[in-house]
Structure 1
């Protein structure tokens, strides 16, 4: 994002924002998803979603951390 053009009026600074896009492969196609609990529920069956919820809670994982997402998908692939 860009900061203020007149620093005397507003002290905002320029900053760089890193964004990641996440995709899941279903039936040979890539679908975008948001790394949130609701993002997972869009492409999972209710049974799988329940198992994932239990797994995430029991292992104290976060849907927002990339390391934790890898563990969640590894578990999901084992189902």
Structure 2
């Protein structure tokens, strides 16, 4: 009887269990794409070209151009990554 209950419980757990989505999340993809961009320093700003849409991203000297690009990619060009 215990064995049957244990097997029934395991079957129920497998039935209810939700599988995780496969593949990388969008956050990881955007960070990887932004990491491939070459950053150029011009005077008081950093410039980098978005690898997905080729738009030039300008940021002040004290900000992180790669994180700005991650935001840009996740908001504006995420359709290319999915």
TM-score by length of 1: 0.27
Identify, as 1 or 2, the structure richer in helix: 2
TM-score by length of 2: 0.27
Larger Cα-atom Rg? 2
Identify, as 1 or 2, the structure richer in strand: 2
Higher relative contact order (CA 8 A, sep 6+): 2
